[in-house]
Amino acid sequence: MSGSVIVEVVLLSEHDGTLRYRSHSDALGTGTHPDAVARHLSGLQPGMPGGLLHSTSWRYDDGGLILTYAALPDPHPELATTALPVDAMVTCEDPLVPSPAVIDLDAVAAHACRHLALLHATDPVVRAAADEARPLWDVIVKLPPGPAGGLSL
């Protein structure tokens, strides 16, 4: 992946009150906007009730960048998903090294959900989409909202 950019989509769903996720990723081609790649990977279609695609983070991995988007609701929640450990978090101890050496996908997905919880409280477009995708958003808004790291409000 040296020098490449990967677009990663974390698809979110809910089952029996538990947040669940799966992910897809693909390389960003020359001249292609990351949003377009993420939309394609998500399977979300225009007009889908509650459909939301939002860029939530980026990270460096093995010589390249990974741009992460949250996509919801997952158009295929029946596919294999992972229960989200909502408290998963990775931070650094060195104030001059802001990027952890390893960031697992659980932490990326949990960060995305906390990011969405913050947007629900601050962004009317996100809140309107959330109103069309219950009970998924009922679980997301229970999380402590936060833009990144260990910040909690």
Instruction: Specify the CATH number of the domain 5-140.
Output: 3.90.79
Q: Are 51 and 43 in contact (CB under 8 A)?
A: no
Q: Tell me which long-range contacts 123-131 makes (C-beta under 8 A, separation of at least 24).
A: 126/52, 126/54, 129/50, 129/51, 129/52, 130/50, 130/52, 131/50
Task: Quote the pLDDT of residue 153.
Answer: 40
Residue 61 or 133, more confident: 133
52-61 and 64-72: which strand pairing? antiparallel
Residue 9 burial (CB < 10 Å; 0-12/13-18/19+)?
buried
List 13's β-bridge partners, or say none: 20
Task: Quote the pLDDT of residue 147.
Answer: 65
Q: Where are the domains of the chain?
A: 5-140
- Tens of pLDDT, residue by residue over 25-72, are 999 999 999 999 999 999 999 999 999 999 999 998 887 999 999 999
Task: Quote the pLDDT of residue 33.
Answer: 97
Q: Name residues whose C-beta falls within 8 Å of residue 32's C-beta, 6 or more positions apart in sequence.
A: none
**Residue 152, pLDDT above cutoff 80:** no
Task: Quote the pLDDT of residue 102.
Answer: 81
Task: Quote the pLDDT of residue 29.
Answer: 92
- Measured distance CA(23)–CA(39) in Å, rounded: 13
Task: Quote the pLDDT of residue 62.
Answer: 80
- Tens of pLDDT, residue by residue over 2-20, are 579 999 999 999 999 999 9
Question: pLDDT-derived band of residue 135, with 50, 70 and 90 as boundaries?
Answer: very high
- Measured distance CA(57)–CA(51) in Å, rounded: 19
